[in-house]
Amino acid sequence: MSLFHSTNQRDSRVPGDGPAARAWRVLERALDRVCGDRDNPLRQLGGLGFYLFWLIAVTGGYLYIFYDTSVVGAHASVEALTHGQWWAGGIMRSLHRYASDAFVAVIVLHLVRELMLGRFRGFRWYSWLSGVPTLWLAVAAGVVGYWMVWDSVALFVATATMEWFGALWGFGPGLVRNFIAKGAVSDRFFSLVVFLHIGLPLVLLLMMWAHIQRLTQPQSGTTRAVALWSLGAMLALSLAVPAVSEPPAELGRLPASVPIDWFYLAPLPAIYAASPELVWIASVGLTLLLGVAPWLGRWSRPAPAQVVPDYCNGCRYCFADCPYAAIAMAPHPSGQGEIAVVEADRCASCGICAGSCPSAVPFRPGERLVSGIDLPDLTVGVLRDEVDAAFRQPGAAGATLVFACRHGARLGSAAPPNVIAFELPCAGMLPPSFVEYGLRAGAAGVLVAACAPGDCEFRFGVRWTDDRIAGAREPRLRRGVDRARVAVVHAARNERRALEDAMKSFGERLAAAAVTSVAGKSSRREFGESENGR
Amino acid sequence: MAGKLLRYGGQGILYLLFAAFIGYFSTAPAYQHLAPNEGLLRLSFRHPGEFATDCRQRTAEELAKLPPQLRAQMDCPRERSPVHVRVELDGQVLYDERFQPAGLRRDGAASGYHRLPIPAGEHRLRVQVNDNARVKGFTHEGERQLTIAPGQVVLIDFIADMGGVVIR
């Protein structure tokens, strides 16, 4: 049986292949049609979170200049900012508020996306686990921010938060006395609040930094379009509905109706609807559940990439291409140059490193093809053997050779005839020289089916594949290869029809080219560009 | 050109919808903390009850059993009494609870907190406290005629230095 499962065989399940993942992909693709895949905010939620964080930090810095850390001055200074300089302080305050709300919405969406796409298990455990505390830190920083205004909402938030924490062992019911007894709130309290409102986001930033440590070229920002549209939306909201304060806090009064910010303060009504203890159980329980999620359920982890020292020349291509910073460079045991070293815990077993290795060239003589870095269970040597075997079959010459990403669209039983297909863990695993090898082995054309841009299971598989085939990144597809017989198709998991259509269209073009070639009329110019299956 | 305009228009609508979502849930729906015609009674105190038992003189046999450095004549258990609080509004018992002293040996102060929403208007509030397990009934009492406005918060405290029950 082929190790590189043919897409003609029965579909096997891959992580993130359930109805939740399909639903999310439908949503993302719908938004692609409006925003374009590059500027789709759903595809850059993490980066958008970073962007909003900096927007909050900048606007918060401006507000801090004018904030008075005293019982009497806190509310008054915020009012002066809001109304006295509405054109600057007022807008800054509104931006600060709405960007903070959007920040919570974005990080929750980010979590939901990764959960629905099944991207939290295995090698991703660190990124997932380090993201969980950011939820608590973001909410804590926001709740403390509401205290600073010291209006009636602030008093409600302060007392309700203390009632909630008072249910914890070690705090006790006396905690709330800090906000209800006469004279309990002093000027120093506001200095403490400012300290917390700056300190907590700094810890949050530290966690966000830790969160992206196992990524190469992490997306800690957005595309210009998303940044401008987001800023514009928050600005429009700030001008249309400026953030304002309620009347100053009075310890002897609480309004019956409190206009709370549900992004940050939703747990507080819950402590009255249920009980503080129940809300603790629910929130801590949910946090623990999120924390252990990577280890729940059955998950078989494929073997990590392995380096063969005799074939590694320390070129650093795999080091540069690994999406998860799982490869480091170390002195070569031979004493000359460097060697790639794989950190197994970080390795996604995507094979992108094998695709980047300049020694993974199928034209190399020898019975067995050994690459400098490879997946032990799915080596490029075996791939070459299987391509050879496939084209030794009678009638195989002239077939279309397909290299398809296992996580992208699959042809299944509906694969057209005269197609020889191989599945790879990621399109990025394909060394570009295999395209030329397939053509020389007898294929009429070679089609590489990758995931949709922005939906790559392993972050850079689509990008590196496109660049390598286009000759823009090492290792490059040789310039002499007839590009008319090569196509790269982008099709997401649930876009089988797009892949089938692209294959059909590619087959027709190859057939037409063959006819015109026989007639002695080269028509390369007609189909000289790569396919786009979308 | 038309496609470009359509795309910009679509993005504009999407981002405005997102902004509307953020703007709405930023302050709405308002949380009805109390009914419109309600005020709030808050019981909050921190008070060490009296010692639960008297000191007693140890017998000669008891003293002999103790190590020499621990042979104190008087045995004074540190356990404190729970604080029993009863709140009556217009003659009806609104809240009745015993708060246990803190600490593994129950030798700390008892702390209590409870929210009691009450209808606005004229009320007779009576608060009784017992902080001595050896005394039957209540040891402290406070009573006040109150006119509660909607949203008004009345704090019931217990401060021994101020005579016990404090209503403010």
Decide the pairing of beta strands A373-374 and A338-342.
Answer: unpaired
In terms of domains, do B124 and B99 share one?
Answer: yes
In terms of domains, do B9 and B48 share one?
Answer: no
Residue A529's pLDDT band (cuts 50, 70, 90): very low
Strand, coil or helix: B161? helix
For residue A490, what are the contacts with CB-CB under 8 A and spacing of at least 6?
A408, A450, A451, A452, A453, A462, A532, A533, A534
pLDDT in tens, A98-134: 999 999 999 999 999 999 999 999 999 999 999 999 9
* Residue A237 to chain B, least CA–CA distance (Å): 6
Q: Confirm if A383 and A403 have CB atoms less than 8 A apart.
A: no
**Domain of residue B163, residue span:** 38-52+81-167
Q: Where are the alpha helices (DSSP H) in B28-156?
A: 60-65
Kindly state the helix (H) or strand (E) to which residue A104 belongs, with its residue range: helix A91-116
Residue A206's pLDDT band (cuts 50, 70, 90): very high
pLDDT in tens, B31-59: 998 998 999 999 999 999 989 888 899 99
In terms of domains, do B26 and B86 share one?
Answer: no
A121 DSSP assignment: S
B67 touches chain A (CB under 8 A): no
Interface mutation target, options A43, A95, A101, chain B, most CBs of B under 10 Å: A101
User: How far is A5 from A422, CA to CA, in rounded Å?
Assistant: 6
User: How far is A453 from A465, CA to CA, in rounded Å?
Assistant: 11
**Residues of A in Cβ contact (< 8 Å) with B33:** 156, 254-258, 272
CA B131 vs. chain centroid, Å, equals 16
Q: Is A170 left (phi over 0), alpha (psi -120 to 50) or beta?
A: left
Count interface pairs A-B at CB distance under 8 A.
122
Which portions of chain B are predicted below pLDDT 50?
none
In terms of domains, do B117 and B147 share one?
Answer: yes
In terms of domains, do B136 and B95 share one?
Answer: yes
Shortest CA distance from A162: residue in chain B: B113
In terms of domains, do B104 and B134 share one?
Answer: yes
Instruction: For residue B14, give the nearest of A34, A172, A258 by CB distance.
Output: A34
Interface mutation target, options A159, A180, A257, A263, chain B, most CBs of B under 10 Å: A257
The β-bridge partners of A384 are none
End-to-end CA distance of chain B: 70
**Residues of B in Cβ contact (< 8 Å) with A258:** 30-31, 33
User: How far is B128 from B87, CA to CA, in rounded Å?
Assistant: 7
Q: CA distances (Å), A216 to each of A176, A204, A213, in order?
A: 46, 21, 8
B59 DSSP assignment: P
B113 class by beta-carbon count within 10 Å (0-12 exposed, 13-18 middle, 19+ buried): buried
pLDDT in tens, A235-253: 999 999 999 999 999 888 8
Instruction: For residue A237, give the nearest of B23, B33, B44 by CB distance.
Output: B23
Number of domains into which chain B is organized: 2
Cβ–Cβ gap B155/A176 under 8 Å: no
In terms of domains, do B100 and B130 share one?
Answer: yes
* Residue A24 to chain B, least CA–CA distance (Å): 17
Look at residue B5 in the predicted model and tell me its pLDDT.
85
| Residue B48 falls inside a structural domain | yes
Q: At what angle do helices A224-240 and A91-116 cross, to 10 degrees?
A: 130
| Residue B90 falls inside a structural domain | yes
| Residue B61 falls inside a structural domain | no
Instruction: For residue A180, give the nearest of B12, B44, B151 by CB distance.
Output: B44
Of A176-185, A189-198, A408-417, A512-521, the range with the lowest mean pLDDT is: A512-521
In terms of domains, do B5 and B42 share one?
Answer: no
**Residues of B in Cβ contact (< 8 Å) with A236:** 16, 19
**Residues of B in Cβ contact (< 8 Å) with A172:** 102, 111
Instruction: For residue A176, give the nearest of B7, B25, B44 by CB distance.
Output: B44
* Residue A318 to chain B, least CA–CA distance (Å): 38
Look at residue A171 in the predicted model and tell me its pLDDT.
85
User: How far is A78 from A197, CA to CA, in rounded Å?
Assistant: 15
User: How far is B81 from B78, CA to CA, in rounded Å?
Assistant: 10
CA A4 vs. chain centroid, Å, equals 27
Look at residue A366 in the predicted model and tell me its pLDDT.
83
Bond into B29 cis (ω within 30): yes
In terms of domains, do B92 and B19 share one?
Answer: no
Cβ–Cβ gap B15/A102 under 8 Å: no
**Token code pair at residue A60:** 């918060």
CA A484 vs. chain centroid, Å, equals 33
Q: Identify the CATH number of the domain in which residue B137 sits.
A: 2.60.40
Average model confidence (pLDDT) across chain B: 91
pLDDT in tens, A292-340: 999 998 777 889 999 999 999 999 999 999 999 999 999 999 999 999 9
Query: What is the amino acid identity at position A319?
Result: F
Cβ–Cβ gap B111/A173 under 8 Å: yes
The β-bridge partners of B31 are A258
CA A226 vs. chain centroid, Å, equals 15
**Residues of A in Cβ contact (< 8 Å) with B18:** 102, 233
Q: Confirm if B154 and B166 have CB atoms less than 8 A apart.
A: no
Cβ–Cβ gap B28/A259 under 8 Å: yes
Q: Can you list the domains of chain A with their CATH numbers?
A: 41-254+263-295 (1.20.810.10), 306-527 (no CATH)
Instruction: For residue A98, give the nearest of B11, B26, B113 by CB distance.
Output: B26
| Residue B76 falls inside a structural domain | no
Cβ–Cβ gap B18/A101 under 8 Å: no
Cβ–Cβ gap A166/B32 under 8 Å: no
| Residue B127 falls inside a structural domain | yes
Cβ–Cβ gap B10/A34 under 8 Å: yes
B44 touches chain A (CB under 8 A): yes
| Residue B67 falls inside a structural domain | no
Residue with tokens 């998991």: A493
Query: What is the amino acid identity at position A425?
Result: P
**pLDDT higher than 70, residue A413:** no
Please name which of B132, B94, B153 lies closest in space to residue A255, comparing C-alpha atoms. Answer: B153
| Residue B86 falls inside a structural domain | yes
Bond into A475 cis (ω within 30): yes
**pLDDT higher than 50, residue A527:** no
In terms of domains, do B98 and B123 share one?
Answer: yes
**pLDDT higher than 50, residue A23:** yes
In terms of domains, do B109 and B127 share one?
Answer: yes
- Give the E-state strand segments of A270-426 in sequence order: 306-307, 327-331, 338-342, 373-374, 400-405, 419-424
Cβ–Cβ gap A101/B26 under 8 Å: yes
Look at residue A450 in the predicted model and tell me its pLDDT.
95
**Token code pair at residue A487:** 């196509």
In terms of domains, do B27 and B42 share one?
Answer: no
Kindly state the helix (H) or strand (E) to which residue A370 belongs, with its residue range: none
DSSP string, A272-317: HHS-HHHHHHHHHHHHHHHHHGGGSS--PPPPPPEE-GGG-----H
Instruction: For residue A256, give the nearest of B16, B23, B34 by CB distance.
Output: B34
| Residue B15 falls inside a structural domain | yes
Strand, coil or helix: A64? helix
